[in-house]
Structure formats: C-alpha cells, structure tokens
Amino acid sequence: MDVTVQLKRLKDERWAVLLNGNERKIISVKGGNIKLCTDDNSAASALIAYSETVVEGQGRSLLASSYICEGYRLTTCEPIVQPVLIEGKRSCRCSYCFKKLISYAESSSMHLHCSEGCQQMDEFWQSEALGIKQLPALPSPTVLLSSRIIRKMVSSPELRRVFDKLCWNTECLLDHEIKSYEIISRQTCALLSAAGCTSAASEAQQMLKSGLAPWFRFLSRMSLNGFTISNSEQMVLGLGIFPAASMVNHSCRPNAVPSFWLRETAPPTLQLTTCKAVTSGEEVSISYCDVSPPTQSRRSVLSDNYKFLCTCPLCLDSDRNREVLGLKRTGIEVDALVKSQLELDTAMESISLSMKRLDKLDQSIDAISTMSEYQAAREEVERVYISCRACTYVASRCSGIYSALSSDMLQLCSNEREQVQICQKALKMMSETLLASKQCLDYAGSLTWQIRMGTEAKFRLFVNPVDVDALSMLRNVKAELMKYFPPDDEMIVSLDQSLQSYSWSRS
C-alpha cells in the first residue's frame, strides 16, 4: 500500500505530519532544524525511523533506516480484533479494556466491564453471552479469539487481507498441537453457531468441510503471531494479535521492548520502544519468550511455539550458559566437546525437577488465599532453593516467586511486627540470590529486573522508612518503567504513591 506523507504548518513554528491525509505527528522547525516533539510520539514518526523489508530466512523484518536512540517509541500497534482475557482474570479484570475491576457491570458469566462505556464499546459480549449459555462449558481464550477473528474477516475484507498476510507453518506441528487444533476448530464452530453468527459460522463450517488444512493454517497464524498481553508488573492478562508488531523478529538480547498500554474504554494496545540504540541498517528485534532460562530451555520453547532454532549471540554463548546452569569451566578441556555436552545434558536433567516444582508454584499463586497457604508455598520455595542453589537460573526463579508470595502476604497480614518479619525474610532471600538474579535478569529492556529492584526497594522501605538508597532505587525503577508505560499505568501510579509516602516519612 502506498503511503503519502505531507507536512502541514501549524502555529508556533510547529508542523503536522499528514499520513495519507490524517494528522499523526507534531514536529517543530526552528533555525532550519526539524525536531520531533516528545509530547506526541506516535506511529507516523516511526515511518521516519524504520522500514519494513524481507530478510532471507526470516521473512518480513523491521530494519532501522536511520539511527534510533534508546527509549524511542517506534510505533503503537492496534489489535486486529478485541483481545481476550485468560480464564484466571475473567473475574477481576474488565473484559474490554483489561483494567482492574473496582465497580463493574456483570454483563455475563465471563464478561465483566469496569464501566458502562466499556460495556457499550464491547461489540462481542452480547452475542458471546448468548452462545455461551448453550454450550456445555465456557470457551477457552483461544476459541474466543478465533471466533472473533472469523466474525471480523466476514465483515471486513481489509482485515481478512491483513490476517492472511501473517506467517504460518503447519509442517512442524507436534501431535498435541494437531489434537488441540482439531478441538479448537470444532469448538469455534459450535460457539459461532450458538451465538447466532450465521455468516461466520458458515465460513467456519466450510473450512471444516474442506478438511482440517484450512483450519490448521488459520490457527497456525494465530499461534505464531499471537502476543501474551501482560501489565507492567509482568502479570499475564490475556491474548491478542497485533499485526504491525508481528513482523518484528526475535532475539534473546533484543533492542526493543513490547509493552501493553491499558486505556479506559479502549482495548489494550502494544507499544514498541527501543531499549538500546539501534544503528542504521540494524534489525529491530524483541524477545518472544522469557530469556532468563538456560539456552536449552529457551530454544525448546521457541522451537515448539514458533518453529525455529534461535541462533542469536546469547544462544551461541556457551560460557554464559554454563554459568546459568551453575557449571564451572575448570577441568573441561577445549576439545572435549562430547564430555562437555554430556555434562550440560546431565545438568539440565538434574534441575528439570526443580524447574517443574517452581512452575507449579508460580501457576498456583493466584489460587492461594490464606496465610497458611502462603507460608507453605514459601517453605516449598526454600526447599527448592536449598536443593538446587548452585544453579543460577533456579536461584533467580526462587527469589522471584518468594518475593511475589511475600508481597501478597503483606496484603493479608495486619500485624506490623509480622509484616516486618515477612519483609526481612524476603530481603534475606533476595540478598542471597542477588548475583544469580543479576546474571539472569539484568539486561537492556528487562522489565522483570525492574520489578525485582522495585520490590526490593519497597521491602527495605517497609523495614526502614528512611532508607535513602532504597528511595533512590525506587525513583530509578520508576524512571526506567516510564520509558515503556504511560503515567497512569497501575505500576507507575503505585510507585508514585510509595515515593510520596516515604518521601514524606523522611521529611
């Protein structure tokens, strides 16, 4: 599609960029120099900074067409259709804007809205609520999302064109994926029929009659181009597809960060921001997965979910991988490749049980509701840590889960002495695992590292409200997160409140 860019003169030596006739970006022209204004860092400016291209072996990519500084907001990506919440968030988040529910309208058993505005803007909830009543069980997020895409494809040829342009791969489907795709396709057909979406249901049924191949291509596009939507605390909220961001390729050490902005009466949007400087001609990249685990784990996730073998610099750094696994290079001869690989495989096997125990704990946090359950969970983390503390990655995971449990415990506990003890135990764990956490999490654009630093600062200030270093740490965390999130973000607001509270304590 051809893009027309024009300049329109405004007052005060300012100009507007007209993108296909629509005003999108404000710039200033002073002394012959053109400057992008910081108050409107929108998508039009990104057209000046990068261009879409095709890279051999990678398909569509984004390459910087000029130097891009760190913290530059490249583009804002809108979802192809309204995203969906995961099951665990349906009772506490608005099904339209994904914000926390304080007061809400109970629209259906799985559609809650934070305001009448969101309820009115949600074009899917009424028909979905009608269909859900006729189904034996609530549909999964994937079924909901696939049904919404088909409905919009039927009514919008442009959306169909955009979706069909997304990459897909059905040659490497695993057995469990094939079985899952079959179930999802039939459940989507059932939901569309029950919801009274005649045209969409007819198209979905036609895809089934043509064999499962059309459905497999459709679901593969969803899988390979879908994004897990999380808030600034890195809490998973839902699923969505953002076509403009789908062309950005993966690196385990990316130069850009996708962050999700939650706005009132609007679905979540994806903001793409550079986390370090990008030189002209360099590819813009993001991470598709958690990049803190050992190389074997990262490659396995990327291969299973995205169908490629990662060969980024971090995956080729064998020394760093050995350190993450807790292995030492001493005693390993340079030419003893077979011995070294066996040692790596043995190390992975030895920590796999610990990783599974931590995964189970991490997934169960939302279901914990009593102090005794939290205490039992913290004790389990301590046991895992003691048994596998030599592994840098396991130690880092233990610290993160232990801190999350401790933060939740503070909300339940009303005894100040017990609260201080909770903080002190959490700080002890964080201190013991500091080097491990730093090695796994401290890299450019790591939001998880900022959350860890912010949590430590809050624990320290709870124990000692006049801890100057902790207060400074909290300010630094806020400044870093402000690169990627708006001022009214939940986490930014919380940090502001903490800073005001403890700054007042010091005065």
Nearest to 252, CA basis, from 227, 222, 286: 286
Distance CA 237, CA 226 (A): 13
Amino acid at 382: E
The residue length of the chain stands at: 507
Residues 314, 291 contacting (CB under 8 angstroms): yes
Distance CA 252, CA 232 (A): 20
Nearest to 401, CA basis, from 420, 386, 384, 421: 384
Q: What is the pLDDT of residues 278-310, one digit of tens each?
A: 999 999 999 999 999 999 999 999 999 999 999
Residues 501, 480 contacting (CB under 8 angstroms): no
Distance CA 311, CA 383 (A): 35
| Two tokens, residue 51 | 């261009």
Q: What is the pLDDT of residues 52-91, one digit of tens each?
A: 554 545 567 889 988 999 999 999 999 999 999 999 899 8
Nearest to 447, CA basis, from 486, 493, 413, 484: 484
* 449, 451, 456, 458 alpha-carbon torsion, rounded to 10°: 160
Q: Which pLDDT score, from 0 to 100, does residue 388 have?
A: 87
Q: Which pLDDT score, from 0 to 100, does residue 431 have?
A: 97
Q: Which pLDDT score, from 0 to 100, does residue 193 have?
A: 97
* 276, 403, 262, 25 alpha-carbon torsion, rounded to 10°: -20
Q: Which pLDDT score, from 0 to 100, does residue 364 have?
A: 86
Residues 25, 36 contacting (CB under 8 angstroms): yes
Residue 486 has, within 13 A of its CA and on its CB side, a CA count of 15
Q: What is the pLDDT of residues 206-234, one digit of tens each?
A: 998 888 899 999 999 999 999 999 999 99
Q: Which pLDDT score, from 0 to 100, does residue 7 have?
A: 44
Buried-exposed string 47-79: b where 16+ CB fall within 10 A, e elsewhere: bbbbeeeeeeeeeebbebeeebeebbbbbbbbb
CB-based contacts of 17, cutoff 8 Å, min separation 6: 5, 6, 7, 8, 23, 24, 25, 26, 27, 44, 45
| Two tokens, residue 260 | 């999700």
| Two tokens, residue 395 | 């130690």
| Two tokens, residue 385 | 């840590």
- DSSP strand E in 218-322: where? 226-230, 236-241, 249-250, 256-261, 269-274, 285-286
Distance CA 406, CA 450 (A): 17
Q: Which pLDDT score, from 0 to 100, does residue 8 have?
A: 45
Specify burial of residue 2 (Cβ count, 10 A radius: 0-12, 13-18, 19+): exposed
| Two tokens, residue 1 | 């599609």
Residues 225, 166 contacting (CB under 8 angstroms): yes
Ramachandran category for residue 265: left, alpha or beta (phi over 0 → left; psi -120 to 50 → alpha): left
Residues of the chain with pLDDT under 50: 1-48, 54, 56, 329-339, 507
